[in-house]
Amino acid sequence: MDRRSAQAVKWSEGTEQPNTRVPLDACDCHHHIYDARYPFAGKAALRPGDALIADYKALQKRIGTTRNVIVQPSSYGTDNRLLLESIGHFDGKARGIAVVDTEVTDVGLRELHSGGVRGIRFNLAPPGTTTLAMVKPLAARIATLGWHVQVNAPAAFLLEARAIWADLPVPVVFDHLARVPQPNATQHPAFLMVRDLLQQQKAYVKLSGFYNESLVGAPSYADAVAEAAAYAREAPERVLWGSDWPHPTEQPHKIPNDAGLLDAFAEAVPGEAVRQLILVDNPARLYQFS
């Protein structure tokens, strides 16, 4: 076998098709690329096998998306070289979310923008390459570029930092349903906080990682589907969808079915008009697709 992990091979060579047909220019707003040609950061906690550009393109053919947003994994720290290389292989149909710290220069930010980057990600709680204290100063610096802040953290941490999310000069995008715990996620204070920020047009939320907090689990993810449906109902113009491929936090024997995840999204969002917003219009606006 070549550099690809068994996990990536499984999905790149899969044949199962989703029941859901996506609209023209549908965008997967959250996936990663891993390639052993680029070294992991020294303190990286996640060290998955390769999940290459070709593997992801095979997934696109299966699920029907044609635009994508590549998210810099925590595994590479602030080394965004693979991210920029990967964006360049999608003929203008990919954008990127980088990881930077407060040492990044303005020239560096402009170079990332020229390479297709449209936001910066903070993996928080516990802090690693980036910290909560970096959010505001970096948000101020990226505002003129039309970028946004993306955050991945447990709901309790997000809730403690609510004053920061409400007072940024750029939108904040919450990963993976904002990691709100089940059961009864829609009654949790973190869900209510995110809902309010969405309705105030200060935030977006990604309907991704249904498996992260679900107590019901595959194949229905019924509790996560209900939460996703509530976000889409409350603020359809501030919601995005992402595959989270290749699911680096999951054990190899628990890798979710990507076709099933897209169908779970469709169950949460049955209306074609709202799907058009979430899969096409909202990403086009946020990630500056022409």
**Which residues are annotated as catalytic?**
244
Q: What's the rounded Cα separation, in Å, for the pair 72 and 100?
A: 10
Nearest one of 175, 170, 168 to 150, comparing CA atoms = 175
Q: What's the rounded Cα separation, in Å, for the pair 155 and 187?
A: 13
Whether 64 contacts 28, CB under 8 Å: no
3-state secondary structure 211-236: CCCCCCCCCCCHHHHHHHHHHHHHCH
Q: Write out the E strands in 141-252.
A: 148-152, 172-174, 203-207, 239-241
Nearest one of 182, 117, 122 to 150, comparing CA atoms = 122
Helix (H/G/I), strand (E/B), else coil: 67: strand
Contacts of 141 (CB under 8 A, 6+ apart): 106, 109
Backbone φ and ψ of 58, nearest 5° = -65, -40
Locate 204 and state its tokens.
């977006």
Locate 103 and state its tokens.
């040492």
